[in-house]
Amino acid sequence: MSSFRSSFSFFLSLTLSYSVFAQTQNVQFNQVINLNGDMQLNSLQFPDNSKIETFSQTQRQILVNQNTSPLTANHVVGSSGQPFVQLSQNAMTIETNNATDLVGAQIEFPIDQATLDQAGVTADNTFVAKLSPDRQAWIVMEGQKSVNTTDNTVRLIKMNNIDGEYMAIGRKTVETSNVVSPFGQSQQQSVNVTGSGIQELEFQDGFRMAVMATQPMTINTDVVNGVSSSMLGSGEMTVNNYRYLVTSNLAGVNPGLNQMMTVVQLPINAQRIMDMAIRTGAGPNSTVTLAIAQRVVLPNPGGAVGNLSPQPQRRQADNTTAEAPAAGNTTEPATDPASSTAASDPAATSAATDASQPQPQAAQPAASNPAATQLLLAPTFSTLTSATVIDAANGRIAAAVPQVDGEFIITMQMGGAAGLQPAAGLQPAGAPRAASAPGGTTMSMVELTRMVKSQENGGVMPVWSMMSELQSQMAAAAAVKPVGFARRGQL
């Protein structure tokens, strides 16, 4: 009995000790706070009811302050859809003495229902955003968001390092999670760009753009069937047999009107690239060079200026809005991808008809664009010379362009060109690799194989196959009779 009482007393003391450490501390801004390093929960609550919770492997210190004039919430990356609005009155700035070994750290902001109602934001569309290192954009990490509607809080969770600036923001959309826009050239399929800050657009196959513009504008994106070999450079292959046609209502008519930068992010079909590489004789140690190429808009010969205001456009009474034809209606990509005519393919050139003298045809965006009939696309694709990045976790290739109007494709060459950096492997954190190269980037067949397996499972870890493999190993081990072992009755 005394032994039991002693054990119970020890357990109770541990429980009480943990409770003391786990209690929330009411702390102040601009106060140096100690973080215990014995893997006990640190819970810090500030005067505005924001909170930081974390475990730590080492003794650290933290200093938290407020930024009363943070970057506005119209500079957002990591989440598509718009507009975003600021929900917390101030931003939170966090400094530690190199606390890079935190465990399960989370940053929490209260969300007031009256504020949400006034802003037209639902709780599911609230986020804790982190300011980018160059202080140019708020980063939304949707995979690390947690919303609790019971206590009206939104959190950024699963962090190992919390140094930086944070703010609660909300997205004024009906959709939650990913906001995906449809392909098409009609007015109803246009996406509004506010013309201030950074805005991300994503389309139904994962094609994505991060746009920074100085003028309000609308953007339409469509897929156009067929890519002719006469559109490509020497030694280049197109990965897909279609092009992305991007048209804004400014449409490159007068670039001086809109100081614009866009990062285009094209989805990678890893299995298709793998199959193409194998057909060209690639081995396990081979590499492929991937790049983004663009057919740009040629200088406008008519000098017309497009509509600069992306105000909501009147819906047609009937279905007479000019739309790009559906891909695949009049072309046969297996025989001649570029055999489509200008009538069936508004962005195609006549290069397939007369390869010696290719004549660019006019791209046709929404019918309301007064300059639409005067826009010409270059006859061939040119590889983008800006730094090219492989986002292995999300299966995209990305590069920046000064003008987004035109057509985009992914090109492929076997082997790595001089000066190109190898693509990084899959990154669990989901961030694009830091290394990049102008004019393309290389991937090894090993990296490509990893991406294929990841895309097969939608990026989900294949725990089921790991369990099956373990079960097979256990069965094999059980089937092996140890040396010197004898069954009962055999002696």
pLDDT of residue 23: 81
**84 to 87, 191, 207: CA distances (angstroms):** 9, 15, 21
- Residue 80 shares a structural domain with residue 123: yes
Strands (DSSP E) found in 342-395? 382-383, 387-391
Q: What residue numbers bound the domain in which 42 lies?
A: 21-171
Structure tokens at 85: 């609005």
> Does pLDDT of 74 surpass 80?
yes
* pLDDT tens string 434-449: 344 457 899 999 999 9
Residue 310 lies in a domain: no
Average pLDDT over residues 219-223: 92
- Residue 34 shares a structural domain with residue 155: yes
CA distance 339 to 188: 29
* pLDDT tens string 88-102: 999 999 999 999 888
- Residue 113 shares a structural domain with residue 209: no
pLDDT of residue 465: 80
- Residue 265 shares a structural domain with residue 391: yes
Residue 180 lies in a domain: no
Residue 419 lies in a domain: yes
* pLDDT tens string 356-383: 334 444 444 444 444 444 468 899 999 9
pLDDT of residue 301: 52
- Residue 210 shares a structural domain with residue 84: no
Domain CATH number, residue 39? 2.60.220
How would you classify the pairing of strands 25-26 and 42-45? parallel
The lowest-confidence range among 51-55, 327-331, 399-403, 468-472 is: 327-331
- Residue 196 shares a structural domain with residue 156: no
Please state the length of the chain.
Answer: 491
Residue 468 lies in a domain: no
> Does pLDDT of 9 surpass 80?
no
CA distance 108 to 128: 8
Average pLDDT over residues 324-337: 35
Cβ atoms 283, 451 nearer than 8 A: no
- Residue 288 shares a structural domain with residue 433: yes
- Residue 92 shares a structural domain with residue 194: no
How would you classify the pairing of strands 91-96 and 164-171? antiparallel
* pLDDT tens string 150-162: 889 999 999 999 9
Nearest Cα residue to 122 out of 144, 154, 165: 154
> Does pLDDT of 354 surpass 60?
no
> Does pLDDT of 483 surpass 90?
no
- Residue 191 shares a structural domain with residue 273: yes
Q: How confident is the model at residue 251 (pLDDT cuts 50, 70, 90)?
A: low
CA distance 438 to 426: 21
pLDDT of residue 406: 92
* pLDDT tens string 262-272: 999 999 999 99
> Does pLDDT of 243 surpass 90?
yes
> Does pLDDT of 6 surpass 80?
no
Report field, pTM of the whole predicted structure over 0.85? no
| Residue given tokens 């292959």 in the structure block | 237
pLDDT of residue 79: 86
pLDDT of residue 357: 38
Return the number of other C-beta atoms located less than 10 Å from residue 188's C-beta: 12
Residue 307 lies in a domain: no
**H or E segment and range at residue 467:** helix 463-479
Residue 86: phi and psi, rounded to 5, are -80, 130
Tally of domains within the chain: 2
Compute the CA torsion angle 29, 33, 38, 44 (nearest 10 deg). -20
- Residue 77 shares a structural domain with residue 154: yes
| Domain end position, chosen among 142, 171, 200 | 171
Cβ atoms 245, 347 nearer than 8 A: yes
